């Protein structure tokens, strides 16, 4: 079994030092658990930086289905479309636990990144990573089965929120099966079935609403097997067309 402390953790692009740089030009607000920070069609007036807690960014379809776009950790930003001017939000943002957020006006933020090349580079990197994540999500929906999508999402969450323990790698975020299903484009029923199968195979375990990765190697091996299968299918299709 792979040493779970060897996993490559993925902190925010921004750091505590970046927060301190921006603190003097922003307002620090606190939000209660489940409080909505902004709604669809709200104008983008601020860039938000999360200082404490976790938030989810999501959309609601006309039929009332919720789709979670991303879950953010401390020092992550959102509301980045404010830099474009008079745009309205297509998303909602909700506090998953008690949160502290720094709100920075568009003009103040633009002045800072025009003079701070390091912050500008990090901001651009954040935008590129989110675009890459979106493209990967769309591709996974088309080409990956639900088991592989679940594994990739669990590993992603572990890299952001994972804490090593004697039982494995604890994903230190309370998330419902409904919310986890939203992240991979699956129903709650399918999500429950997949998670229970993983638990039966000794890959994961549960501690309340938190998930523990018990065998990271075995999880990653299943993704590797899927990569081989996709390559084989691609070769078959190439032979058919030639």
- Cα–Cα distances (Å) from 242 to 65, 231, 237, in that order, read 43, 17, 9
Query: In which band, very low, low, confident or very high, does the pLDDT at 9 lie, cut at 50, 70 and 90?
Result: confident
Q: Quick check: helix, strand or coil at residue 74? A: coil
Mean pLDDT, the chain, rounded, equals: 87
User: By the 8 A CB rule, do 40 and 127 touch?
Assistant: no
Q: Quick check: helix, strand or coil at residue 231? A: helix
Give the C-alpha separation, 85 to 32, whole Å: 28
Indicate if the pLDDT at residue 213 is higher than 90.
yes
Give the C-alpha separation, 147 to 80, whole Å: 32
Q: Which residues contact 20 (CB under 8 A, 6 or more apart)?
A: none
pTM: 0.82
pLDDT at 77: 96
Residue 79: Cβ within 10 Å count: 24
Give the C-alpha separation, 119 to 121, whole Å: 5
Give the C-alpha separation, 23 to 109, whole Å: 11
Tens digits of per-residue pLDDT, 108-127? 999 999 999 999 999 999 99
Q: Quick check: helix, strand or coil at residue 64? A: coil
User: In the structure encoding, which two tokens stand for residue 124, read together?
Assistant: 């651009």
Query: In which band, very low, low, confident or very high, does the pLDDT at 235 lie, cut at 50, 70 and 90?
Result: very low
pLDDT at 174: 87
Give the C-alpha separation, 15 to 114, whole Å: 19
Of the listed ranges 20-24, 95-99, 152-156, 225-229, the least confidently predicted one is: 225-229
Phi and psi for 163 in degrees, rounded to 5? -135, 120
Indicate if the pLDDT at residue 193 is higher than 80.
yes
Residue bearing tokens 């097997």? 225
């Amino acid at each position: 079994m792979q040493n779970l402390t060897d996993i490559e953790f993925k902190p925010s692009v921004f750091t505590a030092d970046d927060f301190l740089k921006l603190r003097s030009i922003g307002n620090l607000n606190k939000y209660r658990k489940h409080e909505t920070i902004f709604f669809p069609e709200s104008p983008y007036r601020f860039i938000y930086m999360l200082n404490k807690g976790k938030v989810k960014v999501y959309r609601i379809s006309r039929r009332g289905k919720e789709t979670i776009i991303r879950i953010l950790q401390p020092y992550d930003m959102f509301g980045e479309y404010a830099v474009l001017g008079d745009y309205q939000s297509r998303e909602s943002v909700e506090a998953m636990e008690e949160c502290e957020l720094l709100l920075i006006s568009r003009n103040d933020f633009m002045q800072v990144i025009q003079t701070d090349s390091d912050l500008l580079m990090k901001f651009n990197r954040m935008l590129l990573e989110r675009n890459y994540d979106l493209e990967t999500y769309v591709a996974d929906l088309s080409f990956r089965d639900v088991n592989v999508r679940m594994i990739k999402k669990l590993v992603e969450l572990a890299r952001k929120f994972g804490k090593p323990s004697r039982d494995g790698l604890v994903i230190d975020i309370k998330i419902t099966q409904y919310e986890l299903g939203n992240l991979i484009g699956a129903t709650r029923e399918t999500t429950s079935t997949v998670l229970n199968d993983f638990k039966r195979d000794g890959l994961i375990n549960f501690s309340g609403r938190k998930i523990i990765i018990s065998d990271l190697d075995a999880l990653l091996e299943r993704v590797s097997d899927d990569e081989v299968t996709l390559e084989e299918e691609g070769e078959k299709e190439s032979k058919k067309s030639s």
